[in-house]
Structure 1
């Protein structure tokens, strides 16, 4: 029973309800010190189970912890492979980052054509999750493999390898995909180590025309920021409800300059990359930031905006937006090469 499963959530809820009933039925039992001790013990138990149930339901929504040992830094899914059906398949491999010093599991989607065309090299999209969250958010809640199979089968998207790397080695530490001054080098891991590992292990394109990014929420900021900072690596990026700045302290002040996308567009030459900025129309911050970047952009930078009517900052919006975003990315990426 995984910590993000429905069974775990229902079990925790049942425990919370039972302890609340226990508190109510034993409140007036006993006298004096014994009654006070009983009330304290059952009250603490009631609060603990209620908090646990709340945490498990939240984790079920964001998939921050997918195993009971993940919180301790040990992900039991690191070597699991699973077919997605008649289309593509998912598997997980470990990236040992010589540049970043990080060693982390990365999930990958291989389209059906990967096995049908054994001499082809495929374009790649790195899909970045939000915070809190994990790569499992893409493969579980957002059903990325299903949507990729669907878009590729319909011809709206070319067969593409999609990588789902973690943006932090610590589920409770938000890096916003940057190299923290006194923390992990997430940017280096994502832009140097992950591509190097993919190019060594998989049949993927190695030129910038074959590489793109996508992300939701914090991962949306990651996608646009990394594309602007590394136009030699990525040709395009899509942001689903991302912001224009990281919202964390990086440690060197660049959260207000080089890692602030609006600042970059105002003060630095704009690179020849294409950005797709999507958000729910009711997600005012993401909507505002997307509009700001659109107004600041000029050639050779290309910015396209799209909105989900009435949507806020939620998984429902991101799932509705991911298919069109993948299609748009594919229109800017190079096709498989033989």
Structure 2
């Protein structure tokens, strides 16, 4: 598809150049032909670029997914409360519904599986990177749980942020305990992410805090100590990862936030003013009913407006026992090029704050 789009784009560009100099007909007709050819060439160039980006990051599997994503029903009510499953030892019966067969993916060192969650009913892909020489008998391993932005699928995200390079180097240097990295999709069923369970919508929160962790515990020798589990995300995934770290501190002992935002802007959490306000990260971190302290690293940049300001606002609402650090950068906009560069600093923070270190 991309090769065809490139050929058509080049052909239309050549036609536009030809018509600029040799368009037939009268003056008005020549101008009209030139304008149409130039506009068509520009539209095709943008479409081709979007197809190439989508191919790399696997945002949408097919055109219908994109249409569904932008036209889907958005709920107006409040989300339902989700209770996380208790953390169980990694050894599970062979007939457990969470025992699955991971296979090699198209990314170096990363295995994948398509799984239907017993709790959420969601069928999606889960990807797992393991460090060189991964040996279940030498565990348990720590877990970094990576959420992409929105739209965002599990494919290519770990490679985009440099998991294979940076995590392996940190483990080799002894600055990070032996760790596996997990990723899953954000736009479940092609819909804008909610990071919550809404009536009539995919149970995204149940998927992230119950089904995916249970799959990891059942198939990999990972720690059952929540402090060895760090949930992290970029952009919309940053907001969601921090929201889930604050609402499920019994599952995730730490959180890293790459260029997120305080107020939800996607899905059901953003549609109703009272729901939106209740799910601001400043409101969640200050929640008087939250009893378990949290560890958060909030990364932002002056070139990504609002990210540092929101991070500082969240930090200002910390409760006794919380550790909330803000890492501000002068340079770096909103994109994988900068998150790739910032990832080593996040790994250093995770290692320094790891209970096992």
TM-score by length of 1: 0.80
Change (3 A) 1:195 1:36: same
- Is the deviation greater in 45-54 or in 317-326? 45-54
For 1:22 and 1:92, how far apart are their aligned partners in 2?
49
Q: 1:81 aligns with which of 91, 105, 126?
A: 105
Q: 1:216 aligns with which of 234, 237, 243?
A: 234
- Is the deviation greater in 136-145 or in 158-167? 136-145
Per-residue Cα deviation, 1:174-211 (whole angstroms, up to 9, x for no partner):
21422244322211111111001111112212331221
Is residue 2:104 matched to residue 1:109? no
Match of 1:52 in 2: 47
Match of 1:266 in 2: 286
For 1:118 and 1:202, how far apart are their aligned partners in 2?
10
For 1:238 and 1:327, how far apart are their aligned partners in 2?
11
Per-residue Cα deviation, 1:141-182 (whole angstroms, up to 9, x for no partner):
3222111112211222111011011112244x3214222443
Change (3 A) 1:50 1:174: same
Change (3 A) 1:279 1:29: same
For 2:203 and 2:21, how far apart are their aligned partners in 1?
53
Q: 1:280 aligns with which of 275, 280, 301?
A: 301
Which structure 2 residues correspond to residues 61-210 of structure 1 after superposition, within 5 A? 63-65=58-60, 80-81=104-105, 84=108, 89-115=109-135, 118-171=137-190, 173-210=191-228
Contact persistence 1:129–1:137 (CA under 8 A):
no
Contact persistence 2:246–2:285 (CA under 8 A):
no
Match of 2:250 in 1: 232
Alpha-carbon distance, 1:8 to partner: 8.0
TM-score by length of 2: 0.77
Contact persistence 1:129–1:219 (CA under 8 A):
yes
For 1:31 and 1:258, how far apart are their aligned partners in 2?
61
Contact persistence 1:107–1:135 (CA under 8 A):
yes
For 1:243 and 1:12, how far apart are their aligned partners in 2?
39
Shift >6 Å, 4+ stretches: 30-33, 35-41, 66-70
For 1:188 and 1:224, how far apart are their aligned partners in 2?
16
Any stretches of 5+ residues in structure 1 without a counterpart? Answer: none
Change (3 A) 1:12 1:144: farther
Which structure 2 residues correspond to residues 283-302 of structure 1 after superposition, within 5 A? 283-302=304-323
Change (3 A) 1:10 1:32: closer
Change (3 A) 1:45 1:127: same
Contact persistence 2:255–2:296 (CA under 8 A):
yes
Q: Which has the higher contact order (CA 8 A, sep 6+)?
A: 2
Change (3 A) 1:66 1:9: farther
Alpha-carbon distance, 1:247 to partner: 1.1
Change (3 A) 1:123 1:311: same
Is residue 2:334 matched to residue 1:309? no
Change (3 A) 1:31 1:104: same
- Is the deviation greater in 59-68 or in 234-243? 59-68
Contact persistence 2:231–2:241 (CA under 8 A):
yes
